Amino acid sequence: MRAYMLVAAALWIACGDSAGQAYRWVDDAGRVHYTQTPPPPGAKGVQRKDTRPGSAATVDLPYATQVAAKNSPVTLYTQPDCGPACDQARVSLVRRAVPFREVSVVSQKEIDEMKKVSGREDLPLIVVGSQFQTGYHEDRINGLLDAAGYPAAGPRVPIEALRKTNPAPSASPQASQPAADDQPNPDSK
């Protein structure tokens, strides 16, 4: 029993130290990024945040949200000139306190990754676990989040605590919801 406790304590300490840094920075084009890796040289307005347990920046999300985030992570694909649809999609996620990763589609690499995920170039694209929705349709987005187990309402937390800007995921989700133009996705059969 004592050996198990020692192993558990060692793992807890090791995991806590490795996942505890977040960075906020602005690139040359004025876009704000949130990453877990240090920003590139020349980044402006760099802020380093300690997100380890017990730090002031830690946000305590409900257990149901933590489980849903682990089982069905959320990625939001946007573009700087996406307009109100991207803003509304972001607000929908923040309103429900859903942790998400935001990918700014600014290069061919992100466009290709987005096409790999959804087969389309429509924005915003919200990926919840293995499901996705293009365009802003609040009821469909909420349906995806409900199906993934995210609580209908979450605690009020700052957007910086929920959003991380990272590269696109490598997994290719399958569709369960109609696309933004209400056409069925051929991959959903």
Q: Alpha-carbon distance 94 to 79, whole Å?
A: 18
The predicted-structure confidence for 63-98, as pLDDT tens digits, reads as follows 888 899 999 999 999 988 888 999 999 988 988 888
Q: Where are the domain boundaries for CATH 3.40.30.10 in the chain?
A: 59-189
The residue ranking higher by pLDDT, 103 or 186, is 103
Q: Which fold has domain 59-189?
A: Glutaredoxin (3.40.30)
The predicted-structure confidence for 21-48, as pLDDT tens digits, reads as follows 667 778 888 877 766 677 888 888 887 7
Q: Alpha-carbon distance 154 to 109, whole Å?
A: 33
Res 151 pLDDT > 60: yes
Lowest mean pLDDT, pick from 13-27, 37-51, 163-177: 163-177
Q: How far is CA 142 from the centre of its chain?
A: 15
Average model confidence (pLDDT) across the chain: 73
